[in-house]
Amino acid sequence: MRPNVRVPVTKAQSVVKVNEENPAVLPCIVKAVGEGMSMPKPDHMTFSGNPTDYWMFVRYFESNLECETRSDDMRLTLLINQCKGKARSLIAHCSVLDTEEGYTKARSILYENFGKPYIVARAFVEELTKGPNLKPDDATGMRTYAQTMRKCLLVLRQLGNFADLNTVDRLVALANRLPYESQKLWRRRVAQTVRKTGREADFADLVEFVEEESAVVNTLPGQLCVSRKAEEKKRHAKPGGRNVTCATVTTNQSPAPVSPISCPCCKRNHVLERCEAFGRKSTVQRREFLRDKFMCFNCFGYRHTSRVCTQPSACTVRGCNL
C-alpha cells in the first residue's frame, strides 16, 4: 500500500484550477498584474548630508521604505542606496556588520552627524544669513528666501529649538538681507507688534513678513514693474550725449585706451549732431528717433527732457520752446 504523499501545488497549477472553477476571474488577474507592471517606479527621496533635509528624509524613509520590509538587512541596503555623497560615505561600512547591528549603527551615525537639533539649527542659520543682500527686483530670490525660512520654521518648531533664531542680533542679520524698502517696512512691523501685543517680534513674525513681501514681488503687477525697471536701467546705460568731458591725467604709466564715441543713430565714431544719417531725417523723424532713445531734444543727452535741460538752447528759431 503506497503512503499518502502530498504533492505541492505550483502557482501555475493554482491559476489553472481557479480558471477552471471560475473562468471570469483569470482576465481580471491578468489585467491587475499588467497594470501593476506598467506603473512607473516612484522616485524616492535621497539624502546627501545637508542637515536641513535630515528630518524630512527620515520621515519619508520610515513612511515609504522602512515599513515595506521587516528585514534589517534589506532596510540597511535601502538606507545606503538612498544616501548620497558624504552621508553614504559615513554609513557604507555598516554593511559588513551583523544585520541588526549594521542598520542600527547606520541610523545612529546619520543622527549624530546631521540630525541633532543644534546641528540642524546651525545649518539653517548659515543658509539664511550667508549670501548677498536681495535686490528689490529679485522675485526669484525673494521666493526662495521665504520658502527656506518657512522650512526652517516648520523643522525647528518640531524640534523645539528656536534659541539661535529668536535673538535680536540674529533677527537683525536676517532682516538686513532684505531690500532697503522691505527693511523699513519690517522695522515698522516690529514697532506695531510691540505697541499692540507688548512683545518683541520673533522669527515666526519675520517669516510671515517675508512671505508677504515675496507675494507682492511675485504678482503680475510686481513682475511688470520689475520688467519696466530693467528696461529703463538698460536704456540709461547706453552711451551717448552731446557734451563729452575729457580729463587728462599725467602718470608714469602708459595711458589707458579711451573708448570711442558711438553714434546712437549710425553706430560710427562721432557725436549725434555730426551724423549725416541723422541730418538727412525729416524733423518728424528726428523727433521720433530722440523720443524712442529717451534723449533730450536740446542737447541730445540722456535721462532728462528738453524742458528741464540746463544747457543753452541749441535751436536758433525764434519762439521755439523745445
| Predicted TM-score (pTM) of this structure | 0.54
Average pLDDT over residues 158-175: 83
Average pLDDT over residues 107-126: 92
- Tell me if 103 sits within 8 A of 72, measured CB to CB: yes
Average pLDDT over residues 269-293: 82
Nearest to 188 by CA among 318, 178, 254, 121: 178
What is the Cα–Cα distance from 209 to 206, expressed in whole angstroms? Answer: 5
- Tell me if 153 sits within 8 A of 207, measured CB to CB: yes
How far is the CA of 83 from the CAs of 23, 41, 109, 122, 157, in angstroms? Answer: 47, 18, 12, 21, 25
Q: What is the pLDDT of residue 168?
A: 85
Q: Give me the residues paired with residue 255 across strands.
A: none
What is the Cα–Cα distance from 87 to 80, expressed in whole angstroms? Answer: 9
Residue 308 half-sphere exposure toward CB, CA atoms < 13 A? 5
Q: Which residues contact 111 (CB under 8 A, 6 or more apart)?
A: 54
Tell how far CA 219 is from the center of its chain: 16
Nearest to 79 by CA among 110, 43, 116: 110
pLDDT confidence tier of residue 246, bands split at 50, 70 and 90: very low
272 pLDDT above the threshold of 90: no
The 10s digit of each residue's pLDDT in 184-228 is: 999 999 999 999 999 888 899 999 999 999 988 887 665 555 555
Give domain limits for the chain: 51-115, 119-232, 272-308
Angle of CA points 291, 302, 262, to nearest 5°: 95
115 pLDDT above the threshold of 90: yes
* Mean of pLDDT over the chain: 78
**What percent of the chain has a predicted confidence (pLDDT) above 70?**
70
Average pLDDT over residues 31-60: 77
Sign of CA dihedral 6, 10, 15, 16: negative
